[in-house]
Amino acid sequence: MSISVLRTADAWWVNTPTGAARIDTDATTTAELLADRSAIESARTSTDTVAVETLDVLSPVTAPCRVIAQMTNFVSHVKDSGMNPATVPLTFFRKTSGSISGPTDDIVKPPHVQLLDYEIEIGLVFGKTVPVGTRINANNIAEYVAGLVITNDVSARDVQLPKTQFYEGKSYPTFTPVGPLLVLLEEGDFDRFDDLELTLRVNGAVRQNSTVSDMIYRPVETLQALSGFQRLDAGDLLLTGTPGGTALKAPAKPIELLGSLVPPAVKWKVFFKKQASNPNYLHDGDVLELTCATPDGTLDLGVQRTAVTYR
């Protein structure tokens, strides 16, 4: 059965049926904690607990680390993006780990950003080094993937799109909320990955809702490709893509065709003028609630609740 880990400024905790039990460890990073499994196991059976609600929880993934993300990896999102799910390639981009924030921290919009978007994603947290050339398969993936977290791949669309610059448009501080829980997987838990359901609400209204069955490239296939060129280490984070329902949608085909006939500067000016009238982009004071769990609760990544702040 999985183990749910929480992090505060001064400690790590295991979420037990009676409350949060402090882990007796000197670990200050996620990688160090994952190496101290005996301490985690000891806390798991402790009866000395505190109410989880009293804890000021931080991201259970610590920076610095590698943050890697998959592009257009859900059928519904691919269609929203105007692409063909049957031919979309397996592609990656990087985010700075300076964008990681906690599960209740505000998402802060930089003053120059106008189109702030959301993307709920399941994050894979690695438990040990994956050297380049490692052969990943269904039988050994659990040796490398230690646990799962909820993430939000917050995106400044008006920076990302005209520059085709994912790194900048998705890497501002607070643009990767993580947690609250790091759900450590035990034997057989990874088999339930396909049953996970992702839901994102803005001010109580559902914007994204999908199961992993909508995912195009599952973790085994993804890591087979990624490990061919990228080393990964304990504590690194891989975001596995988002379902449809983001604020950004591709223009209709006739409009897209007309856009290809005008200079890029004109095309983007018209596109962003249209996007500016879309009410689904995030506004000052909006509250986002993200959940991800199997229907029976065997795997439950908790509830991430953040607010948007304009600066």
Residues 133 and 165 in one domain: yes
Percentage of the chain lying above the pLDDT 70 cut:
94
Residues 94 and 11 in one domain: no
Collect all residues with Cβ–Cβ distance below 8 Å to 23 and sequence separation of at least 6: 5, 11, 12, 13, 14, 33, 36, 39, 40, 42, 43
Look at residues 39, 57, 75 and tell me which one is the last residue of a structural domain.
57
Residues 35 and 90 in one domain: no
The span from the CA of 138 to the CA of 144, in Å, is: 11
Q: Which tokens sit at 93?
A: 């981009």
pLDDT at residue 252 greater than cutoff 50: no
Residues 147 and 271 in one domain: yes
Look at residues 38, 57, 76 and tell me which one is the last residue of a structural domain.
57
pTM of the model: 0.94
The closest alpha carbon to 2, from 235, 299, 302, belongs to 299
Look at residues 57, 73, 99 and tell me which one is the last residue of a structural domain.
57
Structure confidence at residue 265 (pLDDT) = 61
Residues 111 and 37 in one domain: no
Residues 12 and 92 in one domain: no
Its domain, for residue 269, covers 58-310
CATH number for the domain that contains residue 197: 3.90.850.10
Number of domains in the chain: 2
Residues 102 and 51 in one domain: no
Structure confidence at residue 266 (pLDDT) = 61
Residues 33 and 67 in one domain: no
pLDDT at residue 261 greater than cutoff 50: no
Structure confidence at residue 40 (pLDDT) = 98
Express each pLDDT in 56-109 by its tens digit: 999 999 999 999 999 999 999 999 888 899 999 999 999 999 999 999 999 999
Residues 42 and 184 in one domain: no
Residues 76 and 122 in one domain: yes
Task: Determine how β-strand 120-126 pairs with β-strand 145-152.
Answer: antiparallel
The span from the CA of 62 to the CA of 29, in Å, is: 6
For residues 279-304, average pLDDT: 97
Residues 12 and 144 in one domain: no
Residues 84 and 7 in one domain: no
Structure confidence at residue 267 (pLDDT) = 64
Report the phi/psi class of residue 118: left, alpha or beta, with left for phi > 0 and alpha for psi in -120 to 50: beta
